[in-house]
């Protein structure tokens, strides 16, 4: 009996040859201006057998930028750089969507010409970041005013349009992992008392408005959303993750999305949180294609599909170390070990030089 990982999947406008999704992975291989490089085209085309590639988190604006040599999608040069990536991908027959990213309070003034990063409330993220000037503590951000929220929604709309110009097949809205949209969703970071704060229905409002704007460019069937209901990264928390994220899943049903992508690491993963898992509740609430991510092996992914926990599974680190991951899964072959030290360096080592599976 063939593994369910290899059963084709229709998700929105996409027809996927398999259910093995490449998760978005920040790798820091753009240039210092956030322009994608030819090396990035090599990296993605090596992995083109994935049912769908979700390209790495990509800043929607200068104010949303905050990672050394991460890509952007807000300048003509960045669009041109991405065009080379998508053209190379499409020559292989692969499918690639762009993840739209605003770092919110996880950015730093060193990236922003001295301006404060922005957030729903003036509460600093926990920990530190790395800027062009070295390691720095996170700072207390500027709480967005209503007009600034509207301008940020316009930034997402413009970035979605530029992603279309760059040749992508669709987009994913990054509303996970302690970045701006996630900061609005979770009440540990969002202490607002206006229409964007308080009950979950209010905290979801910004995500709804961004989704409406982006889907207005692409159509819901070429738009996905990524959420991380319990990721504690950068001090994120919520008093009722099940309640909050089921409200989010329910509200997102209105847009006819291509998929909902939930990053909730399995027990034993370094980012796994204690307490009740939220994704099973979201699965029952969301009416479309449901993708899970976080510590899945081939066996665990197959079990998740067989049990109806998901329609597809996204893999991150396994794709870093195994450009031919799909072929390895099909052959049930062993996997390369990842070189953690090269995850966020800036050259080909640990990026495009992992060995392929031996033939025969």
pLDDT of residue 77: 99
137-168: per-residue pLDDT in tens? 999 999 999 999 999 999 999 999 999 999 99
Per-residue burial over 191-216, b if 16 or more Cβ lie within 10 Å, else e, is ebeeebbeebebbbbbbebbbbbbbe
Name the stretches of the chain with pLDDT < 70. 1, 270-272, 360
Domains belonging to the chain, first-starting first, are 4-342 (3.20.20.70)
- Could you write out the DSSP letters of every residue in 84-121? HHHHHHHHTT--EEEEEE--GGGS-GGGTTTPPPEESS
Structure tokens that stand for 17 in this block: 């040859």
18: left (phi over 0), alpha (psi -120 to 50) or beta: beta
Whether residue 189 contacts residue 226, with contact meaning beta carbons closer than 8 Å, is answered with no
- How would you class 156 by CB atoms within 10 Å of its CB: exposed for 0-12, middle for 13-18, buried for 19 or more? buried
Whether residue 196 contacts residue 184, with contact meaning beta carbons closer than 8 Å, is answered with yes
Question: What does the alpha-carbon distance between residue 307 and residue 330 come to, in Å, rounded to a whole number?
Answer: 20
pLDDT of residue 196: 99
Residues contacting 347, CB < 8 A, separation 6+ = 29, 39
pLDDT of residue 275: 76
> pTM for this one?
0.97
Helix (H, G, I), strand (E, B), or coil: what is residue 13?
Answer: coil
Active site residues: 179
């Amino acid at each position: 009996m063939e593994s369910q990982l290899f059963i084709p999947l229709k998700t929105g406008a996409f027809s996927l040859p398999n259910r093995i999704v490449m998760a978005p992975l920040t790798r820091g291989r753009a240039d210092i201006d956030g322009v994608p490089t030819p090396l990035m085209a090599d990296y993605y085309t090596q992995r083109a057998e994935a049912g769908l590639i979700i390209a790495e988190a990509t800043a929607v604006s200068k104010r949303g930028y905050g990672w050394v040599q991460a890509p952007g999608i807000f300048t003509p040069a960045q669009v041109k750089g991405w065009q080379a990536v998508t053209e190379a991908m499409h020559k292989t027959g692969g499918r690639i969507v762009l993840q739209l990213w605003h770092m919110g309070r996880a950015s730093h003034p060193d990236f922003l010409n001295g301006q404060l990063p922005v957030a729903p409330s003036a509460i600093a993220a926990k920990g530190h970041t790395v800027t062009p000037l070295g390691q720095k503590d996170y700072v207390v951000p500027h709480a967005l005013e209503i007009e600034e929220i509207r301008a940020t929604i316009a930034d997402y709309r413009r970035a979605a349009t530029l992603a279309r110009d760059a040749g992508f097949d669709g987009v994913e809205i990054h509303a996970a992992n302690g970045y701006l949209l996630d900061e609005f969703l979770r009440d540990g970071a969002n202490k607002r008392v206006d229409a964007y704060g308080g009950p979950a229905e209010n905290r979801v409002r910004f995500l709804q408005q961004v989704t409406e704007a982006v889907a207005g460019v692409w159509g819901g069937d070429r738009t996905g959303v990524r959420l991380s209901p319990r990721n504690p990264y950068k001090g994120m928390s919520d008093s009722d993750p099940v309640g909050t994220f089921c409200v989010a899943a329910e509200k997102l049903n209105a847009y006819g999305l291509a998929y909902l992508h939930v990053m909730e690491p399995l027990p034993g993963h370094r980012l796994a949180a204690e307490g009740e898992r939220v994704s099973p509740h979201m699965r029952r609430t969301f009416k479309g294609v449901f993708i899970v991510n976080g510590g899945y092996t081939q066996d665990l992914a197959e079990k998740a599909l067989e049990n109806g926990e998901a329609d597809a599974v996204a893999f991150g680190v396994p794709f870093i170390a195994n450009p031919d991951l799909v072929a390895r899964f099909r052959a049930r072959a062993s996997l390369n070990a990842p070189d953690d030290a090269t995850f966020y360096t800036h050259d080909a080592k640990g990026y495009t030089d992992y060995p392929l599976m031996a033939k025969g």
